[in-house]
Amino acid sequence: MNLKSLLLRRSIEILVVFGIIMTGLFLLFHAAPGDPISMMVDLTMTPEDVERMVAQLGLDQPIWIQYLYYIKNFFTGNFGTSFHYGRPVIEIISERLPNTILLFTTATILAAMAGVWLGKIIAWYKGKAIDTWTTIFALVCNTLFLPWISLLFIWFFAYWVGWFPLSGMMTPEIWVNPEAGFFAKAVDVLHHMLLPLLTLFIVNTGSYLLIMRSSMLETIKEDYILTARAKGLSEKQVRNRHAAPNALLPVVTSVGLSLAFSVNGGALTETVFSWPGIGRELIFAVSNSDYPLAMASFLFIALVVLVANLIVDILYAYLDPRISY
Amino acid sequence: MTITSNRHAAYSMENVIDKKTRRSYKRQRFSAGWSLFYKNMVGKIGLYLLILFGAMALASYIPPLVDPMYHPMTGVDPLISYASPPSWRHWLGTDNIGRDIFSQLLTGARVAFLVGVSAAFISIVLGTLIGMIAGYGGRIADSLLMRFADMIMVMPSLLVILLLSVLFGQLSIWIIVILIALFRWPAVARVIRSQTLTLKKRPFVDMARVAGASHIRIIFRHILPNVLPMALLYMTFRVTSAIIVEAALAFLGFGDPNTVSWGMMLQWVWKTGHMFQAPYWLLPPGICISLITLSFYMMGRAMEEVLDPRLRKIQKADYAAS
Amino acid sequence: MKVFFLFSDFYRKTIAASFLLALCFVLASCSNGEKDGAILRIGMIEEPRTLNIWLASDANSRKVISLIYQPLYTYDPDTLDLAPWLAQSMPEYDPETISYTVQLRPAKWSDGTEVTAHDVVFTVDLIKDFQVPRYYSQWQFVKKTVAIDEKTVRFYLAEPRAIFLTRTLVNYIVPKSQWAPIAEKAKTMANPLIALMNARVEKPLGSGPYVLAQWREGAFLHLVKNDHFFGSGIEISNRKLGPHADAILFKIYGTADVGVLALKKDTIDFFWWSIQPGYIEDLEKDENTKVYLSDRSALYYMGFNVRKPPFSDPAFRRAANTVIDKNFIIERVLQGYAARMDSIVPSENLFWYEEHLPRYGQGLSRDDRIKKAHRLLSENGYTWETAPVNRSGEVVTPSRILLPDGRPMDDFTILTPPADYDPARATCGVIIQEWLKDLGIPASARPMSFGALLQRIKDRHDFDTFILGYGQLALDPDYLRSFFHSANNRPGGWNMSGYSNPEFDRLADESVQAMDPRIRQELIRKMQQVVMEDVPYIPLYNPAAIEAVGEKRFTGWEQMIDGIGNIWSICRVKSTEADM
């Protein structure tokens, strides 16, 4: 099967999956007890007030009409208005999603590079003490309970040592200062990013290291490595020029997928670090019954995951001609 | 006469030897595998850790017997009504309402095993069944089931479970277990399917079919035993991810309030404002969650090397997804 | 190979990037040194959702809004009586026409235009035209609002209403110049109310001490001093008003822990959030931070669904009240930072609180409470196979309780909010469940998400018992009527228990129209007696407001009911560096 038809087939599949997710999500939110209006525990809110609000928000219409509106709105790019913000949902998402992508893309890429580099070297020392201990260390890093270690890091690095800001993404003092230029602001955001980045880096590097190491060990057994050695190339050359490039494949897949899934576990990281990303917003929206916002955030997250999957598949097929679908 | 009887005796002898050697071969293979496993540093550490946690889980029944105040959920120290540091009376101190942290920690081990093992078991059973059916059933069943698996695989599972528990109120620990299992079978199903596909072409399956074995018999009698090691291997990884998901849910406050899990303990530290003041309360549950996932993960990796080096390409993303 | 080159290029870039990162880091740590003494930095737990006053329903939005929009009257911090704020003096009541006349103070909006009687009229008409939720019920009975002159406004009431003074007049006034165009436009829309509530007001025009300068969504809010603030330099309720800080920065910390760390690190001067008791010890040790403990007007209670048996039996409810150890809850769950409640009205609300009420289990030991409750129940026809108290008077584990009709009682649930929302109430549920089991009452606590909880309790009346609370109960006890008047026993109404008592209804109806505070006080106190005799709600506790400030840069916080986060504090805190 060639690349084109693969692309076509996967795209159709993704559309179907997305449609199912959309519908499922809608049904889920409608089956759930509680509505955003009755959430308001304000004694001044009378039953008449609630009725009026529900009617004006269109929440009293039959479910299928609401569903049609939902589908129509989605395809016209109108995700409705958030109940609590009173702003178009799309606006809120377009503010939050880039923050999430900025943090997690940087973390994943840095971790992948470090992991590849370390894994490549470690594989060469297979069976030696350094290999065993590095593997164990990587495993330990990889299984650290993320929110817990994040909190410890906040306490240690941000509070005790004081190297980093406690949380958030900006230092208001710098941003309200009219003299602060673009550079100062960029530096400020970076400064805030360092601690979450460090945490994610430590946890993720371990996993990339392990994948790279395993993959390298597989590759080393191949004939062409023997050939390369026989040609009299130095060990370093064999490792870097012949083994490593071929061992990269699983890492590439993993990078793609974990990028996609970073939004998943990212909700935890963002909550702990108060990073104004989409995962945190989703949790907030759901627990406050802000349906339009919650549904749209979830759909965007699902979309990111689906597209990332598609890209990984294509990349995989492109990089490894042996794979056919 | 003698010759015949001799021959007969020889034949039966042979038979006995054959059975014996076969059994001993199995034992040999097991012990070879075991020694390989045991030689593996990673596997050894994992095993020791696991034994430690197992002991903790068993020991969790003891403290409430010693004194009702050591009951992890409802027992409170009559003299202490605040978070207190470790003492002889409370080896790891007490939480803010005077409950013993050590006994909570022990109970946490039990809950972690319960959640991890049962969620993993359900997902493995599901994954193995679906994988075998897809692999064995061919075309339509295969593509339908595998598309379904793909669909579930791309779901951000933690968020979906979170969504469900927020929307439908606090879920009980068993529902959480089942939900975790429902989101964790596809990767298993994929691997089992591909194994089944190769097994299907093996002569012994053909022979069984020729001998008139039903499909169900072939699947359970001939294919299942061969894919079982792989399924078991996957189970260790599933245990890890189930424990992490439960802990994450509980940490965010969406766990089962009637169970004492490590995630719940962390949530209590966090929400009652003792996070940065009571290290004796904050550190143990976090360390335990990290170590128990580590131990299962290490066991899994060691098993993987024993079973077949070719099987090493575990779907990493699946772990990342947890 | 292609991949490899791609990656090796990556390496070079990474090295460059990490170098840049390191550089940035160094630079950033330098820039941390600068300090601006005149900015008051306030920490918040969550970002305000909106500054549209009609939409805002979350606590954080309302905090910011309270600094921008101002009411005609506010509460005096000492006496909790009304104090003229935008108004010049107390309103004049004319019983003949049932009208109140209010004289406005010389005050200006933040753009320099005068606050006039027309703004007041506009605000009231807007609320009534659009039937704005939360506000409408408070203005509904105002027949007509007239501007007598630029600075005098008169409210004509349809009938005498006690809450007009204590509740209605403390609502905010909005500027006509800004809101009239928005309202006009909203009226042309299909859903005018939604259009009004979702209208975006980039720069709200206010009459308060501060105005919004910048709101960076997801990060911070920057408010600057309103030069036209009417209170600057004048004295109200014996307090000379500022404000003294040039600006306020609201910083967002997603969790209370980090907020407290920020306080200790001196990155904020005040954390505007009632923190958990666990932090107190640590904060008090720190010489730069100070903890304020304030009374609150709050009510945390357990409610019964009195529509169904056995909860419909007052004796059953009294027994439950007896077996609940409120002091234990306060000591353990709230670490002692709460007041015991024996009435629906908090005892801190001195004027309205009734002292002579049944105390049920107070002061009894666990065994005595079980014995007393056991007596109460058996006197009313409840039986056990194994009673909680055996023949020799010892407390034992009972079998399931049998109702007066001889059937064993079904399992039932105590619904509570989830632990992430309020750990105290979730824990209370579990503890109360254990106490009820001591009587053989098969209770199980079930935390559920807030929306689901409210829907079941308030809209569908599909529940057995619940634990809820009101963090900010109005000072005026009109809520007694909302909670227990039989007219409010309907889906969506606030009489969630379904309590219905003609005597109570009569007292409540009288209290609505009682314009003489003394008479009304009497009625309200009687209402408490009636309710506490029947206990449809078991009041549990009233937690203290625990707030912390950094004393290094600002001092002079005003403590009043509900804490130091109030308009008085904001108008009066002074920088310690510069003497003004």
pLDDT in tens, A189-211: 899 999 999 999 998 898 889 88
C-alpha B21/C-alpha A26 separation (Å) is: 62
C contact residues 515-574, partner A, Cβ 8 Å cutoff: none
- Structure confidence by residue, pLDDT tens digits, A104-155: 888 988 998 999 899 888 888 877 888 888 888 898 988 889 889 998 998 8
In a domain, B23, yes or no: no
Residue B160 banded pLDDT, cuts 50, 70, 90: confident
For residue C16, pLDDT beyond 60: no
Q: What is the mean pLDDT of chain A?
A: 82
**Predicted local distance difference test score (pLDDT) of residue C404:** 92
For residue C321, pLDDT beyond 90: yes
- Residues of chain A contacting B297 with CB distance shorter than 8 Å: 139, 142-143
B contact residues 281-320, partner A, Cβ 8 Å cutoff: 282, 285-286, 289-291, 293-294, 297-298, 301, 309, 312-313, 316-317, 319-320
Average pLDDT over residues C407-413: 92
For residue C173, pLDDT beyond 90: yes
Lowest mean pLDDT among A83-92, B10-19, B184-193: B10-19
Any residues with CB less than 8 A from the CB of A23 and at least 6 apart, and which? Answer: A67
In a domain, B61, yes or no: no
In a domain, C195, yes or no: no
Phi, psi angle pair for C541, to nearest 5°: -155, 165
Percent of chain B with pLDDT over 70: 84
For chain A, say whether C453 makes contact (Cβ under 8 Å): yes
For chain B, say whether C357 makes contact (Cβ under 8 Å): no
Average pLDDT over residues C228-253: 90
**Predicted local distance difference test score (pLDDT) of residue A264:** 67
Size of interface B-C (CB pairs under 8 A): 87
Is residue A58 located within the same domain as residue A111? Answer: no
Q: What is the pTM of this model?
A: 0.83
Nearest to C430 among B168, B257, B277 (CB): B257
**Predicted local distance difference test score (pLDDT) of residue B308:** 58
Interface test with A, best of C10, C215, C261 (most A CBs within 10 A): C261
- Residues of chain C contacting B258 with CB distance shorter than 8 Å: 430, 445
Q: Nearest C-alpha of chain C: how many angstroms from B262?
A: 15
Three-state SS letters, A27-93: HHHHHCCCCCCCCCCCCCCCHHHHHHHHHHCCCCCCHHHHHHHHHHHHHCCCCCECCCCCCEHHHHH
Complete edge-to-edge strand list for the sheet that includes strand C220-225:
C210-216, C220-225, C247-252, C39-44, C270-271, C545-550, C289-294
For residue C27, pLDDT beyond 60: no
Cβ atoms C257, A279 nearer than 8 A: no
Is residue A63 located within the same domain as residue A99? Answer: no
**Predicted local distance difference test score (pLDDT) of residue C33:** 38
Residue A77 banded pLDDT, cuts 50, 70, 90: confident
Average pLDDT over residues B235-243: 87
In a domain, C397, yes or no: yes
Is residue C399 located within the same domain as residue C532? Answer: yes
Higher pLDDT, B29 or B137: B137
Output the domain CATH number for residue C552: 3.40.190.10
Average pLDDT over residues C363-390: 91
- The whole domain housing C561 covers 9-66+208-295+544-575
In a domain, B177, yes or no: yes
For residue B287, pLDDT beyond 80: yes
In a domain, A159, yes or no: yes
- Residues of chain C contacting A57 with CB distance shorter than 8 Å: 191, 194
- Structure confidence by residue, pLDDT tens digits, A261-305: 676 667 888 888 888 888 888 888 887 778 888 888 888 888 887
Average pLDDT over residues A67-74: 84
Domain-terminating residue out of C130, C164, C179: C179
Q: What is the mean pLDDT of chain C?
A: 87
Q: How far apart are the first and last CA of chain B?
A: 71
Average pLDDT over residues A49-65: 82
Residue type, C196: L
Residue A237 banded pLDDT, cuts 50, 70, 90: confident
Is residue C346 located within the same domain as residue C407? Answer: yes
The set of chains that have 3 or more CB pairs under 8 A with B is A, C
In a domain, C353, yes or no: yes
**A17 with B154: Cβ contact below 8 A:** yes
| CA-based max dimension of chain B | 92
**Predicted local distance difference test score (pLDDT) of residue C17:** 55
Interface test with A, best of C258, C462, C485 (most A CBs within 10 A): C258
**B81 with C336: Cβ contact below 8 A:** yes
In a domain, B88, yes or no: no
In a domain, A324, yes or no: no
For residue B24, pLDDT beyond 80: no
Q: Which residue, B80, A157, B228, A142, is CA-closest to C29?
A: A157
Q: What is the mean pLDDT of chain B?
A: 80
In a domain, B224, yes or no: yes
In a domain, B90, yes or no: no
In a domain, C203, yes or no: no
- The whole domain housing B281 covers 109-321
Residue C470 banded pLDDT, cuts 50, 70, 90: confident
Output the domain CATH number for residue C451: 3.10.105.10
The first and second tokens of residue B119, run together, are 């969620």
Size of interface A-B (CB pairs under 8 A): 141
C-alpha A295/C-alpha A28 separation (Å) is: 10
In a domain, C112, yes or no: yes
Number of Cβ within 10 Å of residue B15's Cβ equals 10
Percent of chain A with pLDDT over 70: 92
CA distances from A187 to A200, C30, C41, C222 (A): 20, 11, 22, 20
For residue A10, pLDDT beyond 90: no
Output the domain CATH number for residue A104: 1.10.3720.10
- Residues of chain B contacting C257 with CB distance shorter than 8 Å: 270, 273, 275-276
Is residue C349 located within the same domain as residue C417? Answer: yes
For residue C231, pLDDT beyond 60: yes
Residue B67 banded pLDDT, cuts 50, 70, 90: confident
Average pLDDT over residues C322-331: 91
Is residue A102 located within the same domain as residue A41? Answer: no
The half-sphere exposure of C178 on its side-chain side, counting CA atoms within 13 A, is: 20
Average pLDDT over residues C498-506: 94
Average pLDDT over residues C523-534: 94
Is residue A19 located within the same domain as residue A103? Answer: no
- Residues of chain B contacting C466 with CB distance shorter than 8 Å: none
Is residue C232 located within the same domain as residue C166? Answer: no
- Residues of chain C contacting B273 with CB distance shorter than 8 Å: 256-257, 260, 275-279
**Predicted local distance difference test score (pLDDT) of residue A263:** 66
Is residue A69 located within the same domain as residue A143? Answer: no
**Predicted local distance difference test score (pLDDT) of residue C31:** 42
Residue C36 banded pLDDT, cuts 50, 70, 90: very low
**Predicted local distance difference test score (pLDDT) of residue B18:** 57
For residue A310, pLDDT beyond 90: no
In a domain, A206, yes or no: yes
Output the domain CATH number for residue B235: 1.10.3720.10
**Predicted local distance difference test score (pLDDT) of residue B26:** 63
Is residue A247 located within the same domain as residue A306? Answer: yes
- The whole domain housing A65 covers 3-75
Is residue A60 located within the same domain as residue A198? Answer: no
Q: For B162, which residue in chain C has the nearest alpha carbon?
A: C449
Complete edge-to-edge strand list for the sheet that includes strand C537-543:
C338-340, C537-543, C299-304, C465-470, C412-416, C443-447
**B83 with C423: Cβ contact below 8 A:** no
Enumerate the β-bridge partners of residue C173. C70
Residue C339 banded pLDDT, cuts 50, 70, 90: very high
Is residue A105 located within the same domain as residue A15? Answer: no
Is residue C280 located within the same domain as residue C309? Answer: no
**Predicted local distance difference test score (pLDDT) of residue B322:** 33
In a domain, A81, yes or no: no
B contact residues 209-268, partner A, Cβ 8 Å cutoff: 240, 244, 247-248, 251-252, 266
For residue C24, pLDDT beyond 60: no
- Structure letter (DSSP) for residue C199: -
Output the domain CATH number for residue C172: 3.90.76.10
A contact residues 29-58, partner B, Cβ 8 Å cutoff: 29, 32-34
Percent of chain C with pLDDT over 90: 55
- Residues of chain A contacting C247 with CB distance shorter than 8 Å: 176
At A281 the three-state DSSP class reads helix
In a domain, C519, yes or no: yes
Is residue C277 located within the same domain as residue C340? Answer: no
- Residues of chain B contacting A253 with CB distance shorter than 8 Å: 316-317
**Predicted local distance difference test score (pLDDT) of residue B19:** 57
Nearest to C282 among B96, B255, B277 (CB): B277
Number of domains into which chain A is organized: 2
Residue C26 banded pLDDT, cuts 50, 70, 90: very low
Domain-terminating residue out of A43, A75, A107: A75
Number of domains into which chain C is organized: 3
Is residue A137 located within the same domain as residue A242? Answer: yes
Higher pLDDT, C128 or A309: C128
Number of domains into which chain B is organized: 1
Is residue A135 located within the same domain as residue A212? Answer: yes
In a domain, B71, yes or no: no
B contact residues 29-68, partner A, Cβ 8 Å cutoff: 41-42, 45
Average pLDDT over residues B203-213: 83
Domain-terminating residue out of A75, A100, A116: A75
In a domain, A83, yes or no: no
Average pLDDT over residues C170-192: 92
- Residues of chain C contacting B96 with CB distance shorter than 8 Å: 277-278, 335
Is residue A171 located within the same domain as residue A63? Answer: no
State which H helix or E strand residue C147 sits in: strand C142-149
ipTM for the assembly: 0.83
- Residues of chain B contacting C291 with CB distance shorter than 8 Å: none
Q: Nearest C-alpha of chain C: how many angstroms from B91?
A: 20
Q: Nearest C-alpha of chain B: how many angstroms from A145?
A: 5
In a domain, B26, yes or no: no
Residue C579 banded pLDDT, cuts 50, 70, 90: very low
Any residues with CB less than 8 A from the CB of B37 and at least 6 apart, and which? Answer: B43, B302, B303, B305, B306
